[in-house]
């Protein structure tokens, strides 16, 4: 036979328990908000882009990079990089065979660039023959480095066809 336990809660005990439970839930909610706040960057990369309206760039192809801050805090874009991986496995381990730094991806939005919430940064990288050959012989990745993370945001660059100038 199990012993019976008589628990008698008075009004003040119920209020104390209610306060403790509510305070714990508020603490959990604040931790969640703190972890999920900050910059949230959407990064899109497109290959084979041409510039219209600039006669000095006629016949050239570019890799376009666009970063949008969807979060609630600003971040600073520090670098735009291109990396080449021999195999899918080396890409998973983040061990590039070749790493390249795009020196001046944007003339009007120079790096380092403070990306405020709700704003867009756009950059270009010339799509050279060397980059096209790297894309054919492995995995080509464009990375965006920013101040709120030690790791860059990577997007694979897929060059579908041989561009015709």
| Structural class in CATH, domain 41-157 | mainly beta
- Rounded to an integer, the average pLDDT of 67-85 is 95
Q: For the segment 86-118, what is each residue's pLDDT rounded down to a tens digit?
A: 999 999 999 999 999 999 999 899 999 999 999
pLDDT exceeds cutoff 90 at 138: yes
For the chain, percent of residues with pLDDT exceeding 70: 96
Q: Check residues 163 and 82 and name the one with the higher pLDDT.
A: 82
pLDDT exceeds cutoff 70 at 164: no
Q: For the chain, first and last CA: distance in Å?
A: 90
Question: Can you give the residue ranges of every domain in the chain?
Answer: 10-37, 41-157
pTM of the model: 0.76
Token digits for 77? 């874009």
pLDDT reported for residue 132: 92
**Cα–Cα distances in Å, from 147 out to 78, 119, 152?**
7, 16, 9
Distance of alpha carbon 97 from alpha carbon 147, whole angstroms: 25
pLDDT reported for residue 162: 58
Q: Check residues 7 and 70 and name the one with the higher pLDDT.
A: 70
Residue 52 burial (10 A CB sphere; 0-12, 13-18, 19+): exposed
Q: Check residues 128 and 162 and name the one with the higher pLDDT.
A: 128
pLDDT reported for residue 42: 97
What is the DSSP-derived secondary structure letter of residue 86? Answer: S
Contact call for residues 158 and 47 (beta carbons, < 8 A): yes
Residue 67, strand partner residues:
43, 121
Distance of alpha carbon 140 from alpha carbon 76, whole angstroms: 24
pLDDT exceeds cutoff 90 at 130: yes
- Name the average pLDDT for the chain: 90
pLDDT exceeds cutoff 60 at 36: yes
Distance of alpha carbon 16 from alpha carbon 124, whole angstroms: 60
pLDDT exceeds cutoff 80 at 76: yes
CA atoms within 13 A on the CB side of 28: 6
Residue 120, strand partner residues:
68
Angle, vertex CA 37, rays to CA 114 and CA 149, nearest 5: 55
Name which of 112, 149, 126 is nearest 65 in CA terms. Answer: 126
Token digits for 62? 């570019």
């Amino acid at each position: 036979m199990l012993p019976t336990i008589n628990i008698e809660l008075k009004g003040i005990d119920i209020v104390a328990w209610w306060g403790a439970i509510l305070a714990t839930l508020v603490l959990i909610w604040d931790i969640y908000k703190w972890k999920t706040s900050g910059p949230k960057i959407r990064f899109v990369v497109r290959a084979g882009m041409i510039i219209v309206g600039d006669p000095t760039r006629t016949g050239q192809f570019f890799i376009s990079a666009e970063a949008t801050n969807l979060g609630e805090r600003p971040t600073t874009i520090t670098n735009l990089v291109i990396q080449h991986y021999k195999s899918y496995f080396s890409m998973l381990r983040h061990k590039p065979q070749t790493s390249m730094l795009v020196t001046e991806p944007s003339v009007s939005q120079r790096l380092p660039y403070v990306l405020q919430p709700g704003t867009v940064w756009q950059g270009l990288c010339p799509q050279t023959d060397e980059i096209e050959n790297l894309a054919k012989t492995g995995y080509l990745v464009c990375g965006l480095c920013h101040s709120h993370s030690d790791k860059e945001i990577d997007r694979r660059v897929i060059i579908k066809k041989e561009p015709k100038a």
